[in-house]
Amino acid sequence: MPVDYRRQLIRLIEQHAHSEVMGALPEGTWITRAPGFKRKLALIAKVQDEVGHGQLLYNAAETLGKRREAMINDLLSGKSKYSNVFNYPAETWADVTVIGFLIDAAAIVNQVANAKGSYGPYCRALDRICYEESFHLKQGHDAFIELATGTNMQRQMLQEALNRWWQPIMHFFGPPDKTSVHGEKLMQWKVKMASNDDMRNQFPDAYVPKIWELGMTLPDAALQKNEAGRWQYTDPDWNLFFKVINGEGPCNAERMKVRKWAEESGRWVRTALMSHTAADMLPVA
Amino acid sequence: MMNNDSLDPRVNRLHLSDAAAPVIVNDGENWNIYEVFHQEKRGAHHEHVGCVHAPSPQLALVFAKEQFGRRKKCVNIWVVRSADIPAFEVEDEDMFANNADKTYRDASGFKVMEKINKYKAQQRGEK
Amino acid sequence: MQAAITYLLTKMADDALILGHRNSEWTGLGPIMEEDIAFSSMAQDKIGHALGLYSILHEQYGTPDPDKYAFLREEKDFRCCHLVELPNRAYDFSLMRHFLFDHADALRYEYMAQSSLESLRPFAKKLKGEIKYHTLHANAWLTQLSRAGEDSYGRMQAALDECLPLALGMFEQSSFDTELMEAGIYPGEEKMQAAWLERIYPLLVKCALNMPVPAEPVNGGRHGFHTEHLGPLLDEMGAVFRLDPAANW
Ligand SMILES: [Fe+2]
Ligand SMILES: [Fe+2]
């Protein structure tokens, strides 16, 4: 396996794994407050799945030779990134429904494409992940519809959440192709199977009508489909995107503190049961 | 009670330290790796589905049950330490390369109908 | 009899709901990913058990529907024990609470599977396998951590010392008990506690953990007297639901 291919694969899979683990935090915000049994159970199960996705992806990356401890350390030190979208706060219950519906939908666009890529262990993890994502999307959509078809207060809550999340969603697919650093190479290697701009265009096609049909709006007056079938939209603020990547988003610091707390508070459990012969084992691929 | 000014009441109950304070996970803290095989119904093959990190075979089973058996049908799980699985190296794949050529091991290597048909045609010709 | 059955099922369900809620707080924050997943599943199971019991109560004994009963009821009408109310601390506390509670839970449902109360038998039987996993999980963790060196052993012993009096509060008696016993619905808390001690004792011995003596039970929960933690927990749990209890969420 070419060295560069391996390195880029590790980088990509590792970032994906970190995103799952950090993604558990914004939605976790509402775990103790989910309204009613159905939502409470679904939300816990959904956040649990995200942790599970992280677990599967770290395993896939480990087959390439980097140990999970090393990946976690790179996350905690900031050396390795995770998806920007999780550095935004989930302010109300409605934010959780928007995340569950639309962020998971966006993740599916990306993951379904990459599941056809060239590295088997990553693709296998993605297959399992996509299966679970369809539950995430469905439960998110269901909770979203409940608010959209509910009382005025619920609709307003939802509209405000949509307004907050639209730009982070447009950012989600990554910077424009012309500025993307690794994009072209990853596509040549069939690690990344769709370009950022292609995915950004594919997303509104599937989901904007589902928002509009409920009488909800999106905070972009320019958003529309042209005759050629391409979506037109106001370019999201890319300066903001890079600012958030570099640590200046509203929740970067909190997410990192909480993740560090989890690692620290679990340390006694892990070290108590540590085996001193384990150091250089990797999964069999 | 703590208050970390988080929107998450769970987080407000934690004693958080500074975001800049380094936290380092030591090598081996994530334990051994076990490969997981699940069985969909009694009598079926156990199929490889992934791995778990665990400190013992007992906890590996406990973990595998939820990470790989919490959805869909599953009746049993096997776990085995990755390090205990002997396997060939990738570059040894060439040892298997000529399998497809050895048709004398395969039904496809024996063209009986051809021979029968030839014989029958011959018989017809003689009449 | 209706009041006695409502009391019995409500206390079982409230225990399950509140402990499931507490345990779900670990989701995403557990000591290692694999355990995070396992513990979250069991939290979901517990909340599911509560929902199942509240549904039986609603359909057969006329309590409000499960969402309203759980998310709108006043603190004084909850019948959970103090053990389940306490906030999570370190993982040792959560594991010990889980161990002590789930063995009692397993016993309760074993009895319920043979109860004269027909409405409960199929439900109790259905949960058997789930709870078996819960106790398997608890036993595995307890035995391993208790044998994993001084620090870890000390933590587990301290957690046991702290949890045991609270756990004895699971068996707080009430004026309904005789009626339930005479009707063959429930064997009574005294018998339950004895069976529980018999079950956990050999396991604790295996772990070289010492039963703290004397341990006075912490009672009150079954009569609606709770720790200062339950009120805030219920406010938090109902925060969104109560914005508009008539709305669909
Ligand atoms: Fe995910
Ligand atoms: Fe998801």
Q: Residues B41-91: pLDDT tens digits?
A: 999 999 999 999 999 999 999 999 999 999 989 999 999 999 999 999 989
**Alpha helix ranges (H) inside chain A:** 3-28, 37-62, 68-77, 93-98, 104-114, 120-148, 152-172, 183-188, 196-212, 238-243, 252-265, 267-272
CB contact under 8 A, B55 and A274: yes
**CB-based contact, A283 to chain C, within 8 Å:** no
In the prediction, which pLDDT does C219 show?
97
Backbone angles phi, psi at B49, to 5 degrees: -125, -10
In the prediction, which pLDDT does C55 show?
98
Q: Residues A222-236: pLDDT tens digits?
A: 999 988 888 899 999
For position C233, which CATH number holds? 1.20.1260.10
Under-50 pLDDT residues of chain C = none
Beta bridge partners of B81: B34
User: Chain A partners of C21 at a C-beta cutoff of 8 Å?
Assistant: 32
Q: Residues A100-111: pLDDT tens digits?
A: 999 999 999 999
- Indicate whether A209 belongs to any domain: yes
Pairwise CA distance, residues C24 & A31, whole Å: 7
At B122, the amino acid letter reads: Q
Cβ under 8 Å to A: C residues 154-193: 155
Q: What is the DSSP letter of A63?
A: T
Residue of C nearest to B75 (CA): C129
- Other CB atoms within 10 A of residue B45 CB: 9
- Indicate whether C177 belongs to any domain: yes
Is the pLDDT assigned to residue A181 strictly greater than 90? no
Pairwise CA distance, residues B68 & B26, whole Å: 27
**Helix/strand/coil for A273:** coil
Q: What is the percentage of chain A residues whose pLDDT exceeds 70? A: 98
Read off the pTM: 0.96
* Sign of the Cα pseudo-torsion (A185, A190, A192, A197, in order): positive
Under 8 Å CB pairs connecting chains A and B tally to 118
CB B52 within 8 A of CB B10: no
Quote the number of domains for chain C: 1
Pairwise CA distance, residues C217 & A38, whole Å: 35
- Indicate whether A205 belongs to any domain: yes
Is the pLDDT assigned to residue B24 strictly greater than 60? yes
Pairing of strands B76-81, B46-54: unpaired
In the prediction, which pLDDT does A90 show?
97
Ligand nearest to the CA of A16: 1
> Six-digit token pair at C78?
């909850």
User: Chain C partners of A44 at a C-beta cutoff of 8 Å?
Assistant: 24, 27, 40, 43-44, 47
In the prediction, which pLDDT does B36 show?
98
Residues in Cβ contact with C172 at an 8 Å cutoff, skipping those fewer than 6 apart: C81, C189, C217, C219, C220, C221, C222, C223
User: Chain A partners of C50 at a C-beta cutoff of 8 Å?
Assistant: 37
Under 8 Å CB pairs connecting chains B and C tally to 38
**Helix/strand/coil for A12:** helix
In the predicted model, what is the mean pLDDT of residues A42-49?
98
Is the pLDDT assigned to residue B1 strictly greater than 60? no
**CB-based contact, A208 to chain C, within 8 Å:** no
> Six-digit token pair at A93?
């219950």
Q: What is the DSSP letter of B45?
A: P
- Indicate whether C249 belongs to any domain: no
Residue that the structure tokens 């959560």 belong to: C94
For position A168, which CATH number holds? 1.20.1260.10
In the prediction, which pLDDT does A180 show?
75
User: Chain B partners of C90 at a C-beta cutoff of 8 Å?
Assistant: none
Of the candidates A56, A254, A276, the beta carbon closest to that of B50 is on A56
Measure A50 CA to ligand 1 centroid, in angstroms.
4
In the predicted model, what is the mean pLDDT of residues A141-145?
98
**CB-based contact, A150 to chain C, within 8 Å:** yes
Q: Residues A157-180: pLDDT tens digits?
A: 999 999 999 999 999 999 998 887
Beta bridge partners of B32: B54
Residue of C nearest to A273 (CA): C148
Residue of B nearest to A269 (CA): B29
DSSP H or E stretch at residue A225? strand A224-225
- Indicate whether A35 belongs to any domain: yes
Measure C40 CA to ligand 2 centroid, in angstroms.
16
- Indicate whether A146 belongs to any domain: yes
Q: What is the third-level CATH fold of B30-126? A: Ubiquitin-like (UB roll) (3.10.20)
In the prediction, which pLDDT does B2 show?
65
- Indicate whether A285 belongs to any domain: no
Quote the number of domains for chain A: 1
Q: What is the DSSP letter of C246?
A: T
Of the candidates A73, A256, A281, the beta carbon closest to that of B25 is on A73
Q: How confident is the model at residue A33 (pLDDT cuts 50, 70, 90)?
A: very high
In the predicted model, what is the mean pLDDT of residues A8-35?
96
Beta bridge partners of B48: B37
Pairwise CA distance, residues A169 & C20, whole Å: 33
Q: What is the percentage of chain B residues whose pLDDT exceeds 90? A: 83
Q: Residues A245-254: pLDDT tens digits?
A: 998 999 999 9
In the prediction, which pLDDT does A280 show?
58
Closest by Cα among A158, A29, A25, A182 to A102:
A158
Is the pLDDT assigned to residue A128 strictly greater than 60? yes
- Indicate whether C193 belongs to any domain: yes
> CA distances (Å), A106 to each of A133, A269, C137, C163, C187, in order?
10, 36, 36, 45, 54
* pLDDT: which is higher, B20 or B55: B55
In the prediction, which pLDDT does A282 show?
83
Pairwise CA distance, residues C172 & C188, whole Å: 10
Is the pLDDT assigned to residue A184 strictly greater than 90? no
Pairwise CA distance, residues A90 & B7, whole Å: 8
CB A73 within 8 A of CB B24: yes
Measure A59 CA to ligand 2 centroid, in angstroms.
18
DSSP character string of C162-205: HHHHHHHGGG---TTHHHHHHTTS---HHHHHHHHHHHHHHHHH
- Indicate whether C248 belongs to any domain: no
Which structural domain, as residue segments, surrounds residue C136?
Answer: 2-243
Residue of B nearest to A49 (CA): B67
Q: What is the largest CA-CA distance in chain B?
A: 106
Which structural domain, as residue segments, surrounds residue A176?
Answer: 3-272
Strands (E), B1-127: 32-39, 46-54, 76-81
* HSE-up (13 A, CA, CB side) for residue A137: 17
Is the pLDDT assigned to residue A279 strictly greater than 60? no
In the prediction, which pLDDT does A178 show?
87
**Helix/strand/coil for B27:** coil
